Structure 1
Amino acid sequence: MNDLDMDFLVGSDDEGRPGRKSRASSGRDSGGRRGRRRKRRRNRGGFLAPMLAVIVLLGGIGAAGFYGYTWVRDVMTPDDYTGPGSGEVVVEIKDGQNASDVAQTLEEQGVVKSVKAFVNAVAQAGKSSSLQPGEYAMRKQMAAAEAVKLLDPEKRLLERITLKEGLRLIDTLKQLAEKTGKPLREFQQAAKNSRKLGLPSYARGRLEGYAFPATYEIRPKMTPSEILGALVERFKQTAEKDDLQGKAKELGRTPHEIMTIASIVQAESGTKEDMGKVARVIYNRLAGNPRLNLSMDSTVMYGLNKYGIESSHKDLESTSPYNTYKFAGLPPGPIANPGDDAIQAALNPTKGDWGWFVTTCPAKQLTKFASTEADFFALKAEYERNKGNGC
């Protein structure tokens, strides 16, 4: 091994002690190691900085996302009250209004906080198409979902009024006034306004006979004119169903005459089964013996504003045009408000030759019919025997 080789392998340290030397121990190599260490430290710093930036960025995005979600949630969630509300307010849903229209009304009256809240609540409940016209008792500042529950059609504010067949108009008006709490004079005034009530032209401007008896649902805010208009509208529906005008023409009568006959049938009949026969007696008298005239006690009583089934001799002296004992033909108009059965009987009288009928047992509303005058007097005697007892 030459000296050069030995110098490479053996040397001394900085203090003169012998030791191994290598190229790594040279000044150049020693500096290289320090450089690499510094580089590694720089590399570690270069990795951490971007990571920190990413973390900060992601944190910023997360915060922005949270606040963004909160903002979107607040924007997408409509303003709404909580709880069942308080106080009371009557809200009317009008015919033809949709959920948005109703929501607008509720917001204006302080029931719900926003239109959107109510529309959403109705949609979630699946009741968008079930909102019914009427008046409802609501509360102020209700949660929209609670408001939807109170708009159930079964909870409408309604007065259910049943008007019986055969009531005179004055009695109909009294019942309506009593059950609605509205003044009778307002109903009486409304009854005179035939145009506003929608009466058919053949009614001759009189409501008597055309205030159809049925069961009605009366809303609190309905006026007497609106209530009576509903009765007339129901009559017109029945008249159309029965083809009143067409069948009246076939019988050689006007619709007004048919309604007059129907009112007498209603007043004189004890049962539905009697109606067709009573109608036949009326037609037979109108077409037959002029001595008899129509001779109906019900018309005489109406003209005198009295009630009963038998006219006195004094009653028969009345000069009222409704005294059908004195004046031939039909009276000027209906004497009551007939139901559909009586109208049907007037349009379809039972076939027969009867000229008389007598309620032989008033307590049981038993009516008998006669074709001869002799039979009539026999029935009259039976009535006299039964009058005042239970038959």
Structure 2
Amino acid sequence: MPQHGQYPQQGYEQQQQQVQQQQQVQRPAPHRQAPAPEPVAGPGPDGIDWEAEAAALEAGGAPAAAGHEPQAEPEEWDGHHEDGAYLEEEPQQEAGFLGGQDDSREAKKKRKESGKKAGRRNGGACLLVALVLLGAMGGAGWWGYGFYQDHFGPPPDFAGDGTGSVQVEVAKGEVGGQIGLKLKKAGVVKSVDAFTKACDAEPKCRAVQYGFYVMKKEMSAASAVKAFVDQMGGASLVLPEGLNSTEIYAKIDDKLKLQKGTTANVAKAQVNELGLPAYANGNIEGFLWPTKYNIADGMKPEDLLKQMVKNATEKYAALDGQAASVNLKNGYEVVIEASILQREGNNPTDFAKMAKTIQNRLAAGGEINHRLGMDTTLQYSLGRKQLDRKDMDDASNKYNTYINPGLPPTPISNPGDDALQAVLHPADGKWLYFIAMDPSTTRFAETSKEHYANVEEFCKNAGEGFDKDRGHCTGKKS
């Protein structure tokens, strides 16, 4: 059959009429065939039996043109009529609304492919939903377990008696939870709750004494409580404010049942391992903090010394920033002045006035010439209380504040909080002299005349003579 050829002139009008009638014949879907002319009996001018073709179309089969081999698949309509005229194709619909389903091979193939894709999508969606549900169930279970552990389960705890050694300080007034927090930070217990629970179960733990305790790391809460109770029931060393290092060494020897001089020798030999700050220049005086120290079995003197130095260093950490407010150069000078207050004074309520007196003398010129004129500084360096004129005239002794202006080179005792706070917050006054008349009374004076009268009375009460030139007791019975 000629493609896009012109029909013969003979029978053209009849053929055109047939074409119009054929256009009204329902086209098969989804593949539209080119409109065929109305069939006539026998082969038409083009050699095709159109009546047979129409019958074949109505039967749903493929048209078989006379003289041509049957086609396996009908060719798709290319949008042109047999006469070459272009006809606009209507949009195809696989199955119209409430219409019949297209059962052609191509439509079935499309439905099959679409079904496979939909199946894969549905299967993937089901798998995703299943995984989400399993994850949600697992998360809910884990959350539930965590909630139970947090609210009803036992608190985290180590097992056993622990290893190593660590020192923990318990301050006055601290209770179970506060102590537990310190232990947790030091690595002793695993949780505050575990220690608190174990402490609540032990009546003796509810009244923990303040001081230093030697503990082990990673102890069970029960073992930590037992260690506290055992050390509370054992020996302890209480150091009052104002003792010097020599006096403290003797107390440690006595408490640890060591030969006299043992602690002093240890302090001298291990001074660089005790934790002293650089500004101490290797001098331990002033860094043996006065408080209560628990004595554990097998404790060595260096254990106690390290505790004392650590405590003092922590107390002094903020002093540098406060020294300038009282005309002192640094925090170490604050400690030195406080050590003199602690050694000179008998009553902490007088410390603020004593501090002001020292600061007034350091600032005064004239007859005083910035000199403190203190017995205690000279007594510290000589290691004895009795002083004579020769001692007081020795300018080579840097602790001789009768001759040398300013503060002595180091502390002369180990001060406590009261003395430190008095130095930083002195009273308001013009005093230049003070003398402790007895353990509860300190007299202050602004002039030397008034002061000498107080000293003479003191010497008389002590049964000693009075040196009017120096305003000092003679040290000899009157």
TM-score if structure 1 supplies the norm length?
A: 0.59
Could you say which residue in structure 2 is the equivalent of 1:21? none
State the shift of 1:210 in Å.
1.0
Query: CA 1:327–1:104 in structure 2 vs 1: closer, same or farther (change >3 Å)?
Result: closer
Could you say which residue in structure 2 is the equivalent of 1:379? 454
Q: Deviations over 1:19-50 (max 9, x none)?
A: xxxxxxxxxxxxxxxxxxxxxxxxxxxxxxxx
Q: Deviations over 1:177-216 (max 9, x none)?
A: 1011134444223323343211122222111011011111
CA–CA distance in structure 1, aligned partners of residues 415 and 240 of structure 2: 9
Secondary structure in structure 1 of the residue aligned to 2:389: coil
Residues 99 and 128, structure 1, Cα contact 8 Å, conserved in 2:
no
Could you say which residue in structure 1 is the equivalent of 2:279? 202
Could you say which residue in structure 2 is the equivalent of 1:222? 299
Secondary structure in structure 2 of the residue aligned to 1:358: strand
The residue type paired with residue 203 of structure 1 is A
Structure 2 residues not aligned, in runs of 5+: 1-155, 165-193, 206-212, 217-221, 465-478
Match of 2:367 among 273, 287, 291: 291
Match of 1:303 among 342, 364, 381: 381
Structure 1 residues not aligned, in runs of 5+: 1-96, 106-122, 137-146
Match of 1:367 among 442, 459, 469: 442
The answer to whether structure 1 residue 176 and structure 2 residue 252 are counterparts is: yes
The residue type paired with residue 434 of structure 2 is F
Could you say which residue in structure 1 is the equivalent of 2:358? 282
State the shift of 1:224 in Å.
1.6
The answer to whether structure 1 residue 332 and structure 2 residue 403 are counterparts is: no
The residue type paired with residue 231 of structure 1 is M
Secondary structure in structure 2 of the residue aligned to 1:220: coil
Match of 1:357 among 411, 434, 444: 434
Query: CA 1:342–1:104 in structure 2 vs 1: closer, same or farther (change >3 Å)?
Result: closer
State the shift of 1:175 in Å.
0.3
Secondary structure in structure 2 of the residue aligned to 1:368: strand
State the shift of 1:341 in Å.
0.7
Could you say which residue in structure 1 is the equivalent of 2:241? 165
State the shift of 1:149 in Å.
12
Could you say which residue in structure 1 is the equivalent of 2:398? 321
Query: CA 1:290–1:169 in structure 2 vs 1: closer, same or farther (change >3 Å)?
Result: farther
Secondary structure in structure 2 of the residue aligned to 1:369: strand
Query: CA 1:152–1:283 in structure 2 vs 1: closer, same or farther (change >3 Å)?
Result: closer
CA–CA distance in structure 2, aligned partners of residues 214 and 232 of structure 1: 12
The residue type paired with residue 344 of structure 2 is E
Give the aligned CA root-mean-square deviation in angstroms: 3.3
Structure number with the bigger relative contact order (C-alpha 8 A, sep ≥ 6) is: 1
Residues 262 and 338, structure 1, Cα contact 8 Å, conserved in 2:
yes
TM-score if structure 2 supplies the norm length?
A: 0.49
CA–CA distance in structure 1, aligned partners of residues 293 and 372 of structure 2: 34
The answer to whether structure 1 residue 102 and structure 2 residue 161 are counterparts is: yes
Residues 159 and 220, structure 1, Cα contact 8 Å, conserved in 2:
no
State the shift of 1:248 in Å.
1.4
Alignment of 1:10-159 (within 5 A): 99-102=158-161, 127=198, 134=214, 151=226, 153-156=228-231, 158-159=234-235
Secondary structure in structure 1 of the residue aligned to 2:385: coil
Q: Which of the two has greater helix per residue?
A: 1
CA–CA distance in structure 2, aligned partners of residues 283 and 343 of structure 1: 14
- Count matched residues: 259
Query: CA 1:149–1:317 in structure 2 vs 1: closer, same or farther (change >3 Å)?
Result: closer
> Alignment identity in percent?
31
The residue type paired with residue 383 of structure 2 is N
The residue type paired with residue 201 of structure 1 is A
CA–CA distance in structure 2, aligned partners of residues 294 and 262 of structure 1: 14
Residues 163 and 215, structure 1, Cα contact 8 Å, conserved in 2:
yes
CA–CA distance in structure 1, aligned partners of residues 331 and 162 of structure 2: 46
Residues 161 and 223, structure 2, Cα contact 8 Å, conserved in 1:
no
Secondary structure in structure 2 of the residue aligned to 1:102: coil
CA–CA distance in structure 2, aligned partners of residues 229 and 198 of structure 1: 7
State the shift of 1:135 in Å.
7.4
CA–CA distance in structure 1, aligned partners of residues 201 and 414 of structure 2: 35
Residues 190 and 224, structure 1, Cα contact 8 Å, conserved in 2:
yes
State the shift of 1:291 in Å.
3.2
CA–CA distance in structure 2, aligned partners of residues 149 and 326 of structure 1: 55
CA–CA distance in structure 2, aligned partners of residues 237 and 369 of structure 1: 33
Secondary structure in structure 1 of the residue aligned to 2:161: helix
